């Protein structure tokens, strides 16, 4: 019976430590379940939303790039048309000036001839 008092404190120490280990395991299990719940309830939908948003942004950028490409081609075509119109306008202006100077020159010649005939 002398061994009985020694075994009781040793047994109570093992029980206290076993209870601490059991509580630690219970805390770890509860933490694991809480983290899993947070992951499935918040993080996975958040990740899916971010990926969908990035996909939508990628599609928008691709569409915008296509529009800009088309706009660049149209701008180039408009610039070429403008240059052709300016060239046509310049040649028309030169023709008008040539005709005006010829008619002015003819008018001056007829004035000179009229002046000579009256003199």
Asked if residue 38 is part of any domain, the answer here is no
Query: How many structural domains does the chain have?
Result: 1
1 pLDDT higher than 60: no
Mean pLDDT of all residues belonging to the chain: 84
Residue in 66, 74, 12 with CA at minimum distance from that of residue 4: 12
Mean pLDDT, residues 85-89 taken together? 93
Separation CA 103–CA 108 (nearest Å) = 8
The predicted model scores a pTM of 0.48
Asked if residue 6 is part of any domain, the answer here is no
Chain segment 32-79, per-residue pLDDT in tens: 999 999 999 999 999 999 999 999 999 999 999 999 999 999 999 999
For residue 61, the tally of other CB atoms under 10 A from its CB is 10
Asked if residue 15 is part of any domain, the answer here is no
Mean pLDDT, residues 23-36 taken together? 95
Asked if residue 10 is part of any domain, the answer here is no
pLDDT: which is higher, 65 or 96: 65
Mean pLDDT, residues 76-86 taken together? 95
Asked if residue 33 is part of any domain, the answer here is no
Task: Say what the pLDDT of residue 110 is.
Answer: 65
CA angle 105, 106, 110 (to 5 degrees): 120
Asked if residue 81 is part of any domain, the answer here is yes
């Amino acid at each position: 019976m002398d061994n009985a008092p020694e075994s009781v404190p040793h047994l109570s120490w093992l029980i206290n430590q076993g209870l601490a280990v059991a509580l630690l395991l219970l805390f770890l299990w509860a933490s694991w379940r809480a983290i899993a719940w947070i992951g499935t309830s918040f993080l996975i939908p958040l990740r899916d939303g971010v990926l969908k948003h990035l996909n939508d942004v990628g599609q928008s950028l691709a569409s915008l790039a296509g529009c800009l490409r088309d706009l660049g081609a149209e701008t180039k075509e408009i610039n070429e048309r403008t240059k052709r119109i300016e060239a046509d306008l310049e040649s028309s202006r030169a023709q008008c000036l040539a005709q005006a100077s010829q008619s002015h020159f003819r008018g001056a010649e007829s004035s000179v001839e009229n002046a000579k005939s009256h003199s």
